[in-house]
Structure 1
Amino acid sequence: MKAVISGHFCRGAVFGAVCAVLSLLAGCESEQSAVSARSVSTPQAVVTEAVTWQPRRVQIQAVGTSRAGKSVTLYPEVSGEVVEVAFKTGDRVEAGQTIVRLDDRDQRLALELARVELQDAERLHGRYQRTKGAGTITESALDDARSAVERARLNLDRARVALDYRSVEAPFDGFVGITDLDPGAQVAPSTAITTIDDRTSLLVTFQVPELFLGQIEEQQAVSVSTWANGSPEHRGEVLDIDSRVDPRTRTFAVRARVDNSEDRLRPGMSFRVTLTMVAGRYPVVPEVALQWGNDGAFVWAVEQGAAKRVPATVVQRLQGVILVDSPLGEGQSVVTEGTQRMREGLPVSSLAEL
């Protein structure tokens, strides 16, 4: 009988202990529910930053090769002996200035002879004109005299041209280059005399990937600099854009004109060409605001005091910020600190508002 009573007593004690534990757990769950409810109703403190918009800037760098704004290699028109070299390497010459003179004695004599023949023809024609009324000169003879005058005038012009061919003149203002000619040298039309460069401006040609075809326009600004350390940049503008793409390199040629009025640059130099293009406007968000999920990148935006997940596609990374393709409005706030606690619809409050 005592054993039975003792057994009932033990089971009652165990039952009481279990009830006490269950009661304690129930109290904890109630307390956690209350805390959770309070946390949901209380806005989460976060740090936000306003979204700005700015254009997407793409910078192209290429290697360019230059030539003078005007450049020519001079050749003689005829063969002959050089009697005068009227320049020194590096001289600045003006348009029409004689560079090299060939032996022209025969041509000068031919010019004088043509001049005398013209005078004779004109005198004969004048005499025929004066005696025309007397009936001693036929109309046919007068016509022949008139034709003789015209032929003599043409021969005189040809003699002047032949004499002009005996000298080589500068076609425009510029600087002359090196020559290997000396007086007494024999030259032919295939003999290069020297070069002349008008380097007040340079034409710089460079290659651009076909991806940017249609995005570059004439008169667009470019900057060029030499490869020397500390070389200053020189400004220029796009002058010509090639009409085709090279199928081997998948690039097209662009030529820019660069001012060289200070004469610091030389034709033939290579340059580092920088071309900046602006394409579209995009929202700008801080790097820390961009989050990644299973469906791609997104940011937590604040709308009417609650967090909202907004998709964002990276367009361009800049210094500390990212251009994104996203439906974010200019001036809209995005969460930069506290993103780990965010979920859709969670009330948030910026620290600046607390």
Structure 2
Amino acid sequence: MKKTIKAAVVGLTGVLALTACTSAGGASSDSASTINVVGFSVLETANKAEFSAFQDTDPGKDVEFAPSYGASGDQSRAVEAGADADVVHFSLETDMTRLVDDDLVADDWNSGPTKGIATSSVIAFVVRSGNPKNITSWDDLVKPGVTVVAANPGSSGAARWSMLGAWAHVVGAGGSEDDAKHFVSKLLSNTPVLPASGRDATSAFLEGDQDVLITYENEAILAKQSGSDIDYVLPDDNLLIENPAAVTKDAPQAASDFLDFMESAPGQEIYAKYGFRPVEGIDGVTVPEVEGANDPSDPFPAPQTLYTIEKDFGGWSKAADEFFADGEDGEPLGIITDLIAKSGSDAQED
């Protein structure tokens, strides 16, 4: 059967609602009681519950929210360009440091108990119900005849985590850099189109007939919670995904109060209900049963091997340039950027 893929979804009537990415700042506010939240694409459903719970607290009384969601890199660049933002919550640390460098976020944003991390996850492979291709590991993704959906690393944090997870799979098992390049090239050859964001990739998979979607574990769980007829697999060797959040320098006190709530035990328990793993550094978090997880009573099993950006890639400040540099100002292309350019995969943008 010929495989098809939709890189952009217009008028989607499926179970996962999309938020338009055309206005990164959300509604502008003249009142300190309105918080402009700029986030990466897959936060929307969980944040609705997070907002509501905060509004039930004393600091959240009379607070309103003006949220905006899109591909993490695009959202960060929009704030840099002047979009309204009080709380920023991105997929990648580099999307936060862009705003630090532009003097929009304080340089000590990551000095607290969670080191600035507000949500956490791992990589998941979303497959058709019953897993007809028997996808269980990274190696299954590069087999002939397997068609993959992944987002565009140029705009999407989900895609950068996914590609580094594939790289770690090879190098972490003793493979060379050339071995890892060959593996990622084979993966890209099975990935004909790269949608702009993690949410766009999910929508393309749900509307298409591809075999597997590489995404966040929380996105896989949300898809099942929303009634999608899918299953998901966690590879035994995985990558810890850490999503940073901060307030901007001119944000009202209500924004700092909300960030504190996000990074509290009650805030983390709400995010957990929607598939995000609680972050380290927060005491008193009780993991709830999670509808849609493979085992709702034990929703977040520990992978056999869990790589991290800091330990295995030297941190995002090193990994971003090494793997994803875009070649501006005469710089060489990053390893993954170069492999995508050579692969023929169609990288879509918002």
Aligning the two structures, in what range does the TM-score lie when normalised by the shorter sequence? Answer: under 0.3
TM-score with structure 1 setting the length: 0.17
Whose helix proportion is higher, 1 or 2?
2
TM-score with structure 2 setting the length: 0.17
Whose strand proportion is higher, 1 or 2?
1
* Higher alpha-carbon Rg: 1
